[in-house]
Structure 1
Amino acid sequence: MFMSTVNKLVEEIDKERGKRFKPHFIVIGMIIKIALIFFSGISFYQATRFNSIIMKKSSYPWMRA
């Protein structure tokens, strides 16, 4: 969903600026995509790890999610 929005935005900027900027925006789009995948993967991994640690360490029922 979000990746298609980024692609559309890059395409619109490319149409407005002209063909000579195309490789530049392709590179920027690829970097944004890789960074988003990388950071979303890290945050998902850390969140699941953090939740499992909380559930293991805490004996309080209101701390268990």
Structure 2
Amino acid sequence: MTIHGVSKRITVPARVIGVRVMPGMGDFAGFEATFNIDRLEFGVLGSRWSGNTLAVDPMVVLHLIIGGVHE
């Protein structure tokens, strides 16, 4: 994964949410994954509110829904 110019190898816990034949496209599969990353490890520093508190937590939840076609 590359964010903000920083690349790191990660493992994504994906699950298959469906497979079907799409007319004109072929075999299509959908996947879903939810996982956390530490944005500070990718150089995303963010900003602070008054009182020096973080505006965004360092741990960010990513939720992905991805589809792909078999060629």
How high is the TM-score relative to the length of structure 1? 0.29
Give the greater-gyration-radius structure (CA). 1
Q: As a proportion of its length, which structure holds more helix?
A: 1
Q: Which has the higher contact order (CA 8 A, sep 6+)?
A: 2
How high is the TM-score relative to the length of structure 2? 0.27
Q: As a proportion of its length, which structure holds more strand?
A: 2
